[in-house]
Amino acid sequence: MVRGRISGLSVRDVRFPTSLGGHGSDAMHTDPDYSAAYVVLETDAGDGLKGYGITFTLGKGTEVVVCAVNALAHHVLHKDLKDIVGDFRAFYRQLTSDGQLRWIGPEKGVVHLATAAVLNAVWDLWAKQEGKPLWKLLVDMDPRTLLSCIDFRYITDVLTEEEAFEILQKGQVGKKEREEQMLVQGYPAYTTSCAWLGYSDDTLKQLCTEALKDGWTRFKVKVGADLQDDIRRCRLIRNTIGPEKTLMMDANQRWDVPEAVEWMSKLAEFKPLWIEEPTSPDDILGHAAISKALVPLGIGVATGEQCHNRVIFKQLLQAKALQFLQIDSCRLGSVNENLSVLLMAKKFEIPVCPHAGGVGLCELVQHLIIFDFISVSASLTNRMCEYVDHLHEHFKYPVVIEKASYMPPKLTP
C-alpha cells in the first residue's frame, strides 16, 4: 500500500577516481571518474523506508546536476506519494515541463539527468512500499496502470496508448513461464570490463582469458582513436576469445559519417556484431546512412546511451538507423520514459540491449530489461545487457551475475 508524504529530499555528489586505472576510458572520454548525483527521498509514513535514486556522470559536472536536483525539489516535497504514483504521467510532465527549468532542456541535458535521479528515487520508494523489487512491481502491474505512468506526448505518430496496451496484452501470454525462466537462468549479459581503451595489451589478454574461464561468451572492445591500434587490439582480442565468441565494438561518438563507414570496413575482418555510437548521438540520418552502408559487411549499428529522450529514439526507429537499441536508466526520464522506448522497440521489433556500467547503472537497468523480456519483448534473440565489473562493492545489494547472466533481484528487507 502506497503511503506517506515526501518530507525530505537530499542529494549528494559522489565520485570515484576510476581514471587513475584507465577504467571506463574510451576514444572520447579518456579520463572518466565514475560519479553520481545520489538522491534520497524520505516520507512521514513512519516505516523507515527511503527512496534512493541516481544519475550517472563522469566527474566534473556532477555538482551541476546536484544544483538541478535541488531546483526540482519543490515539485516533490510535501507531496503525497499516493498522489504522485496515482497520476504518474501528470507528475512526470510536471517535472519535465516546469515553465522556467524546461528552457535549459527541455527533456535533455542536465535538467533531464536530474529528473531521472529524482524519479528513480520515487520508483525505488514505491517498489519498497509494495514489498517488491522494481522489476516485479512492473511485471505485476495492470497494463492500464503501467501505461498511466508514460507520457505519450510527441510519440503518438509512432505509438499510441492503445497500441501500447495491445502490446502489453499480448505479453500476458506465457508471462508466468518467462518469469520462471528469468528466476532460474537470468538475463544474458556481455562484458565491457576487458577492453577499455586505456588498458595495455597484457591487461586486455589477461582479462579476456579470465572472462572466458568465468563463462563469458560476449565481449565489447573500445575503438575509434587510432585505426592501426584498433586493428592490433581487435586482432589480439579476437585471437584470445576465438572465432565463435561474440564481439562488439564501441566508438563512443568519435567519427564523422564517412569516416565511420571507412573505419568499420577495415575492422570488418574481426566479425563484430555491432558498432556502437559510431557518430554524434543526435545525428539520426547519419546513423541511418552508416547502418545502410554496413549491411553488406554484416555489421549492425547500436546506439542510445546518450540519446536525450524518447523522441530521438522514435526518429532512430523511424529512420531504420539502428539494429540494436540501447536504453540508459539515467539518461532518459527514469522508468517512465524508458517504458515508452521499450514499447516502441517492440513495435519495430528492434532488440533492446541496455547500456550499463558506471555507478549503479547495472543495478538499475537490470530491472528494466528483465521486465522487458517478461512483459514486452518475450524474446532473447540478439538480446543482451551490458555488464561492467566496477564499483559494485559500494552497493548494499549489488548485481548478481551467474554464468554470464543477470539474476533477478529478490525482495530485500
Kindly tell me if the per-residue pLDDT of 42 is higher than 50: yes
pLDDT at 256 over 90: yes
d(CA 48, CA 214): 39
**Percentage above 90 pLDDT, the chain:** 98
* H helix or E strand, kind and range, residue 137: helix 134-140
pLDDT attached to residue 379: 98
Backbone angles phi, psi at 302, to 5 degrees: -120, 140
pTM reported for the whole predicted model: 0.97
Q: Is it the case that residue 411 has pLDDT exceeding 80? A: no
pLDDT score of 412 more than 80? no
The upper half-sphere exposure of residue 21, i.e. CA atoms within 13 Å in the direction of its Cβ, equals 12
Superfamily per CATH, domain 171-407: Enolase-like C-terminal domain (3.20.20.120)
Enumerate the domain spans of the chain: 5-132, 171-407
Q: What is the pLDDT of residue 394?
A: 94
**pLDDT reading at 88 higher than 80:** yes
> CA 208 → CA 215, 225, 402, distances in Å?
11, 21, 17
Question: What is the pLDDT of the chain when averaged over all its residues?
Answer: 97
Locus of grid cell 498511466: 148
171-407: same fold as 5-132? Answer: no
Q: Is the pLDDT of residue 413 over 50?
A: no
* Alpha-carbon span 84 to 261, nearest angstrom: 47
CATH fold of the domain at 5-132: Enolase-like; domain 1 (3.30.390)
- Say whether pLDDT at 66 is over 50: yes
Q: Which residues are identified as catalytic?
A: 222, 355
Q: Is the pLDDT of residue 282 over 70?
A: yes
What's the average model confidence in pLDDT over 132-144?
Answer: 98
